[in-house]
Amino acid sequence: MTLLEVMIALFVLSAMVLVFSSSVIVANRAAFMSGQYANAISIAQHKIDQMRAIGYGRVWDTATNKPNYVELNEGNIVDDGQTPAGPTYSFVQQDELNTDEAKTKINYLPSPIATIKVERPDATKEQIKVTVTVSWTWKSFNSKRSNLVLTGLLTNSG
């Protein structure tokens, strides 16, 4: 084997190592992003499940035809100190999404904004449309903001 062959072999090996290492970096970034989306989906689904657990009658005030803020707050669904008129409420503090303790957890979302919108699109039907929006910032990826929106319906079964 000549020196030229060895140099070509080393060059090819180096190129392969470079390609492999860059693909590992891209795969790691994709896994990180996927994990944050999975966490956002989990947070949003949990919020809709909480709404279903307390039920149509406690979520919607039929006398005022508006969301029942008192029940939503007492049910630990929305944050304290919001305008009861709604229909959009925050739940960042309620679910401790932006605390120092949350930052140590694996499901932490950086700079979260989490809202829940409760509306009754058709007054003739006893259905409530619940739209949960979770938004966060990618700190390590050019500070881009990502959003996840999940919608569910609650019906009056009673």
Does the structure show a pLDDT above 90 at 131?
yes
The predicted pLDDT at position 99 comes to 64
Q: Can you read off the two tokens belonging to residue 99?
A: 């605390």
Backbone torsions φ then ψ of 17, nearest 5 degrees: -65, -40
Kindly list the distances between the CA atom of residue 137 and the CA atoms of 20, 71, 134, in Å, as whole numbers in the listed order.
29, 31, 11
Does the structure show a pLDDT above 80 at 84?
no
Domain boundaries, given as residue ranges, for the chain:
3-155
The predicted pLDDT at position 133 comes to 95
| Cβ neighbours around 101 below 10 Å, total | 8
The predicted pLDDT at position 107 comes to 55
Q: What's the pTM?
A: 0.78
94 or 127: which leads in pLDDT: 127
Does the structure show a pLDDT above 90 at 66?
no
Q: What is the three-state SS of 14-76?
A: HHHHHHHHHHHHHHHHHHHHHHHHHHHHHHHHHHHHHHHHHCHHHHEECCCCEECHHHHHHCC
